[in-house]
Amino acid sequence: MASSTISCNATDLIPLLSGGANATAAAAAAEFICQRFETVSGKFTDAGYAIDNTYLLFSAYLVFSMQLGFAMLCAGSVRAKNTMNIMLTNVIDAAAGGLFYYLFGFAFAYGAPSNGFIGKHFFGMSDFPKPTFDYPFFLYQWTFAIAAAGITSGSIAERTQFVAYLIYSSFLTGLVYPIVSHWFWSSDGWASPARSENLLFQSGVIDFAGSGVVHMVGGIAGLWGALIEGPRIGRFEQRSKPLTLRGHSATLVVLGTFLLWFGWYGFNPGSFAIIFKSYGTSPGSSFYGQWSAVGRTAVTTTLAGCTAALTTLFGKRLIDGYWNVTDVCNGLLGGFAAITSGCSVVEPWAAVICGFVAAWVLMGFNKLADKLQFDDPLEAAQLHGGCGAWGIIFTGLFADKTYVSEIYGGDPNRPFGLFMGGGGRLLAAHVVQIVVIVGWVSVTMGTLFFVLHKMELLRIPSEDEVAGMDPTSHGGLAYMYTEEEIKNGIMVRGVGGEDDHVQGHVGVL
């Protein structure tokens, strides 16, 4: 991770020190100087490893904080009677994901095929630490795995048996996601841009932080779960138009969104893994290096999310006639999901285009979902699957030649973005990525959800769904209500005139 130690040769120093006299003293002095030089040089090397690993470790902490963001976003997006259920599933995503990614997932993701496919990492990490990666690398990769599982939980919220969450989360983090991350991120993955030879379309797939590897995997898995389960009771039973079953707390949605925004600065910039690297040719004289690329990546991430949020704000105003904070939050996250692929290799102005298109992709898929009576309480399949796919295409169009060369090295003429004059090879590789991810996740997770459905382990009984999962499966409600509210089905308070009052059975929370 850090640069190698600079060597000192005493033989080269002796002529400079002796001046033609007292060669023995000169040799001793040269040896002394080289010993001190090697010590100082080694300290700088140690410091480089420490800086890079600390940077990666704190990036892992940031990405892990996104689990709290997912929890708050999910909790606010479901009805109050299902709050404890969705919070518990987020905890289980992290806990089960941690164990199964350690036992199986990391081996599938980064084990070498030459060592029996899963290498030395199976059932432990006996190969740690080593110069190429240390324990922070495992922790960082684990946070990505549980993020994919968290995406899927939103799609199947409010109607899924808890045992199904346990099964799918373990399967996704232990096998499905790790295989995809191996294909596109491991140095020997068949589509990785880090391969030393035989690059896919001479470029490999540049999915820097996982628009496809993380977001599409989670989104497509959620798509199949929601399709096989079917919509929630009451969602499409009105003939005129679908009934919006709104979540119970816009406050939690906004809180979760800001937590996810904060965590994305570990998700995208942190994916560099190292920061102590100069791009200059003269050591010590360059102010431009990987630290600059990290900052640029944070900027492109920010601009894509901000543009998507504003585009959604005005787009939904034109479509629906009102300003909606939850829609804007989803639009913001759609922009982040899209820029995650190309955040490190595009200019800031291109990130604005990415966010603008991502907002319309999300709104378009949401309209299509209503037409097809597809019910996803958090719009996770549309947001992470749809916007993630757009982000992959976007990178194939706008990847900058200079940034691709700096970050991925190798051939200075390797393919880059089509619209930037780099030809269509990178875009072709990215189309392959989309097809492969959709196919792999559909076969694995689609089959799993279908089997769970046939075994009657997927969806809860209709009477439990109407009553709510908290009182039927988790021992009680998450919030305190009056006896009258509980007796009448936890009635929604409506606003009429100057006073707040209960308007009959407006809806069940």
pLDDT at 494 over 50: no
On whether residue 69 sits in a domain, the answer given is: yes
Count the domains in the chain. 1
On whether residue 63 sits in a domain, the answer given is: yes
The CATH number of the domain where 377 resides is what?
1.10.3430.10
461's torsion region: left (phi>0), alpha (psi -120 to 50) or beta?
Answer: beta
- Rounded to 5°, the CA angle 503-508-509 comes to 110
Residue 352 and residue 303 in contact, taking contact as beta carbons nearer than 8 Å: yes
CA distance 138 to 60: 9
- pLDDT value at position 384? 97
- pLDDT value at position 497? 36
Average pLDDT over residues 8-22: 54
On whether residue 176 sits in a domain, the answer given is: yes
Tens-digit pLDDT profile for residues 340-396: 999 999 999 999 999 999 999 999 999 999 999 999 999 999 999 999 999 999 999
On whether residue 491 sits in a domain, the answer given is: no
CA distance 87 to 65: 15
Maximal C-alpha separation, the chain = 105
- pLDDT value at position 133? 77
What's the first-to-final CA gap in the chain, in angstroms?
Answer: 52
The beta-strand segments (E) located in 396-452 are none
- pLDDT value at position 18? 53
Residue 234 and residue 508 in contact, taking contact as beta carbons nearer than 8 Å: no
pLDDT at 134 over 80: yes
Tens-digit pLDDT profile for residues 308-346: 999 999 999 998 888 999 999 999 999 999 999 999 999
Tens-digit pLDDT profile for residues 428-440: 999 999 999 999 9
> Per mean pLDDT, which of 114-118, 288-292, 445-449 is the most reliable?
445-449
CA distance 150 to 67: 8
pLDDT at 38 over 70: no
- pLDDT value at position 498? 37
Two structure tokens written together for 28: 């001793």
What residues contact 18, with CB distance under 8 A and at least 6 apart?
25, 26, 27
On whether residue 392 sits in a domain, the answer given is: yes
Tens-digit pLDDT profile for residues 253-279: 999 999 999 999 999 999 999 998 888
On whether residue 283 sits in a domain, the answer given is: yes
Per-residue pLDDT band for 288 (boundaries 50, 70, 90) equals: confident
- pLDDT value at position 458? 96
CA distance 368 to 327: 16
- pLDDT value at position 447? 97
HSE at residue 308, side-chain half, CA atoms within 13 A, is 34
In the 8-state DSSP scheme, what is residue 461? P
Tens-digit pLDDT profile for residues 469-487: 999 988 888 887 655 655 5
Q: How far is CA 160 from the centre of its chain?
A: 23
- pLDDT value at position 502? 33
Per-residue pLDDT band for 507 (boundaries 50, 70, 90) equals: very low
- Pairing mode of beta strands 493-496, 499-502: antiparallel
CA distance 86 to 80: 10
On whether residue 460 sits in a domain, the answer given is: yes
pLDDT at 252 over 60: yes
- pLDDT value at position 132? 73
On whether residue 14 sits in a domain, the answer given is: no
- pLDDT value at position 111? 77
CA distance 169 to 165: 6
Residue 176 and residue 116 in contact, taking contact as beta carbons nearer than 8 Å: no
Tens-digit pLDDT profile for residues 60-110: 999 999 999 999 999 999 999 999 999 999 999 999 999 999 989 998 998
CA distance 395 to 416: 9
Name the one residue in this structure whose structure tokens are 């993380």: 214
Expressed as residue numbers, the domain containing 444 is 41-467
**Mean pLDDT, the chain, as a whole number?**
86
Residue 283: asked if its preceding bond is cis (omega within 30°), the reply is: no
Two structure tokens written together for 205: 């797939």
